[in-house]
Structure 1
C-alpha cells in the first residue's frame, strides 16, 4: 500500500505532519478527514526519505548485541500478545529508565505516533538496526507476521552474540600465551648462574 507524507491542521488548530497509508490520494485525504485533520499538503512518500527521518540526535551510544536482542525479544512478545506497537514500545520504555534501549524505544514510539510504520521509525536510528533487520520488520508488517519476524530476529541476534562471545573467549588463551612469551623473551638472563 502506498505511503503519503502529509501536513495538516487538527480541529484544535494545531499543525501536524506525518505519514499515512492509503491506496490513492483521495483515500489519503478521506482518512485524514476521518482523523479530524484538514490536509494542507499530501505527497507520495519515497524510500529515500526513510533515511532522512528527522529527530535523530547524533553522538549517542549504540545498542550492544545483547541489548538489541533483548529489545527485539520484548517487542516480539508484546506484539504477539496483541499489544499495539505504540503501547509495546511504551512498556519497553517504562522498564528501561535512562538506558540506550529505552531512549531508542522512545524515539521509535514518537515516530510511530506521527504515523510512520515501525520499519521506517526504526530506520531513523542510524547505526542501530541493520538493513537486514529493517527489511525483515518491513516484510513482517506487510505480510501480517510481525511477531514471527521479530522472534526470528531475536533468535538470530542471540546466536550472533553467543558466537561473538565464543570467538572472543577462544582468542583469549592464544593472546595470553603470546603476551607471556614476549615478556619472557624480554627478561634479561640471570647472570648469577653464569661462570
Structure 2
C-alpha cells in the first residue's frame, strides 16, 4: 500500500475511532461532505483494492467494511459522520465463506461467516437469493447482510447448501431449497 492510500486509510480510521470513542452513530443522511469517487474497488473475489493495489491488512479491510453502506441507487459508500466517498464494487462487497447448521428444537438455522468475520443467520432479516445469469444459466447465490449489502456465497458453501436442500413443488415447478430460521429459501428449479 502506498503512502497516499495509508493517508486516506488513517484519516478514515481516525474518524471511525473518534466516533466510536464519543458514542456518535453513523449517519445515513446525504448532508455529509462528499469527498468524491475514490479509486477503491472490491473485486468479485472479495479483495479490496486501492489504486490498483490490494489492501493486505485484514484489520483495515474490516474497518472499511464496517463503514460501508449502499444507497437506493445501488452506489456503495464509505461513510463517516462527516464525510462520504463513493467506491466501486464489482459484484457483492462480501463473501459468505463458511456455513454452520444449528438444529435446536427441530428448527434449522443456517449460520454464515463472511470474509470480514460478520456472522449472519439466514432468515426473515437475512435472505438467501439466487440470481440466474440469463445467458449462461449459471446461478449466483447471495446472502443479505445489511441495508442492501450482500455477500456472494462461495461455490463450496453453495454446494453445502445444495446438500442440505429439499425438493418442493412451487408454482407447478420442482425446486430445491433450504429452511433457515423458519423461512424456506428457493435455490433454483430442478430440471
Q: TM-score range, shorter-chain basis?
A: under 0.3
TM normalised by structure 1 equals: 0.22
TM normalised by structure 2 equals: 0.22
Which one has the largest radius of gyration?
1
